[in-house]
Amino acid sequence: MSNSKIQVILLFIIFGLISFGGCYYDNSIVDGNEEFSGDVSFNNDVIVIFNKDCNTSGCHNTGGIKPDLSSASAYNSLINGNYLNTENPEESELYQWMKGNKSIPMPVSGPNISYNAKILAWIKQGSLNN
């Protein structure tokens, strides 16, 4: 095979790798914001997030790292610890950690677009204990 044919084949391979490599999408890692338009319930939505990824052993559970996000203590821990800002929800400490704007993102697996949208909507809706 001649050098020019090899170069053309290599160019097509490189072009293909670049083109298809740009198609990767991971919907749990967030760069921007997603709006959540429905009502968010602390008990039915927020606690579910905490139970799944936050209040595991050694993390944000009773006796673990503050805030305590166990089902029985999460609401009071967030309110009393000033983790929520209903006047400027995007600046809430909880939301900033979840977006990865504070040291290690929470959950440690990385920012999650669905979680962040629900948490932000809940804070915008007044951070109710509902």
* Alpha carbons 118 and 124: distance in angstroms, whole number: 10
* pLDDT tens string 109-120: 889 999 999 999
pLDDT of residue 115: 94
Domain locations in the chain as residue ranges: 21-124
Residue labelled with tokens 């968010």: 40
Kindly report whether the global pTM for this prediction surpasses the value 0.85.
no
* pLDDT tens string 37-95: 889 999 999 999 999 989 987 799 999 999 999 999 999 999 999 999 999 999 999 99
pLDDT of residue 33: 57
* pLDDT tens string 6-44: 766 755 566 555 544 444 333 333 345 578 888 999 999
pLDDT of residue 42: 97
* Alpha carbons 11 and 3: distance in angstroms, whole number: 12
pLDDT of residue 28: 35
* Count of other CB atoms within 10 angstroms of residue 111: 18
